[in-house]
Amino acid sequence: MLYELLSGEVDMWEIAPLFSELLANTNVQFFRDRVKCLYPRDHLLKNMPTTSGPGGIVHLESGLAIEYDWLVLALGAEAKLDVTPGASKYALPFYTLKDALKVDEKLRDLERKNFCKDSPIRVTVVGCGYGGVELAATISERLGDRGIVQAINAEETILPNAPEGNRETALRVLSSRKVELLLGYVVSCIRKEVKGEIDDDDPANMVSVHNAATAHCPERIFLELQPSGGRDLQGQIVESDLVLWTVGSKPLLPELDLDDNSYELPRNARGHAETDETLRVKGHPRTFAVGDASALRDKNGNFLPATAQVALQQSDFAGWNLWAAINGRALLPFRFQNLGEMMTLGKYDGAVSPSFVNGVTLDGLVAHTARKIAYLIRLPTNEHRAKVGFSWLAKSTLDSLQNMLSKGLS
């Protein structure tokens, strides 16, 4: 629910509660630290009963070393900006809470600078998967007439892998908010103008300047677009005040040092931990891996999507299998149950395509509310759920009252 931070719909404590608070009344010991090194030893235990002997040691950045019997890897992934020249320097990722706060701060800064000016704030979103589309819809709603939002996608459609209903709803909302879609393009390079000059190649080499009317900007970012191959398109330059990058991710597992370079946890070409169906890392009887750090195929041979839906379902299975392994019981193979796909499209809009009702998509306020209720149900701990539920109810009551009042006055 990072998008809702940008729309002002939620507060940080609601969507990012502290582990120390959530785990306060449990016997889980929480260390706020970073794992630096992993010393797995369970691959050496192959001929011993799997429940005896240490499984390995993790070394934390603070210097602390923790010996473990069993390990669950849930390190997640991070944004991948290093594939396009200039992206890591001039584009902001939208992946973590910290990223969302930075984007919000940057938007506030632009809103302040452009206050009472005629020139619009130009925001460019790279990527039109769920992340890019939800971001473009939220920011275009926030900026209204004060901004121009452009969204770029390599495919010739947005949300290529989403249900038809979600795609159509998103297209309708984006068009109503005048989001400019640049489809069939890849960003080949991003650069910034420094004191009247472009800090990279000569812009004269570029094919055309898109919306050159924004020459007033003190800091101008230029994105060079090339056709991705399909239609007969020409390359172009897009000018922007803020570039948001939503394309690609990479697992954080390869960041960890392992004790012995000749031995590594089995990983696929993209760096995900390879597990068997029971979520155990191959060759490591005491190590489980879940979520975006791991890769598992479904029965058709396709990789499961890197979503919270998969990660949450895997965590239930991993918990059960951990208990089963310790107690010498049979482990269960993980089966993903796709419940459908939901998206927010701003404060009062959304799209929900539940998998259990074929071809049906909810949209508008109904979808937005249904999505919020689904998130509320999935929040951790009853106490947090109750606090957030009350807070959201109070906010929406206030919002409705404000709307009624402003309608009455106008």
Ligand X SMILES: Cc1cc2nc3c(=O)[nH]c(=O)nc-3n(C[C@H](O)[C@H](O)[C@H](O)COP(=O)(O)OP(=O)(O)OC[C@H]3O[C@@H](n4cnc5c(N)ncnc54)[C@H](O)[C@@H]3O)c2cc1C
* Residue numbers at the binding site for ligand X (CB under 6 A): 2, 34-35, 74-76, 94-95, 131, 252, 291-293, 306-309, 311
CB of 253 to ligand X, least distance (A): 8
CB of 19 to ligand X, least distance (A): 9
CB of 174 to ligand X, least distance (A): 17
CB of 237 to ligand X, least distance (A): 27
Closer of 113 and 335 to ligand X (Cβ): 335
- Nearest CA to 347 among 390, 402, 303, 286? 402
- Nearest CA to 75 among 294, 268, 259? 294
CA distance 84 to 82: 6
Closer of 148 and 310 to ligand X (Cβ): 310
Q: Which alpha helices (DSSP H) does 12-129 contain, by range? A: 12-15, 19-22, 87-90, 97-113
Buried b vs exposed e over 171-202: b needs ≥16 C-beta within 10 Å? bebbeebebbbbbbbbbebbbbbeeeeeebee
- The residues, any chain, with a CB within 8 Å of residue 35's CB and separated by 6 or more, are 58, 59, 60, 61, 75, 256
Closer of 189 and 279 to ligand X (Cβ): 279
Minimal CB distance to ligand X: which residue?
A: 291
Closer of 66 and 252 to ligand X (Cβ): 252
Closer of 74 and 171 to ligand X (Cβ): 74
Cβ atoms within 10 Å of 50's Cβ, excluding its own? 16
CB of 400 to ligand X, least distance (A): 25
Closer of 95 and 392 to ligand X (Cβ): 95
Parallel, antiparallel or unpaired: strands 185-194 and 197-198: antiparallel
Helix/strand/coil for 189: strand
Query: Which neighbouring-strand residues pair with 363?
Result: 351
CB of 61 to ligand X, least distance (A): 8
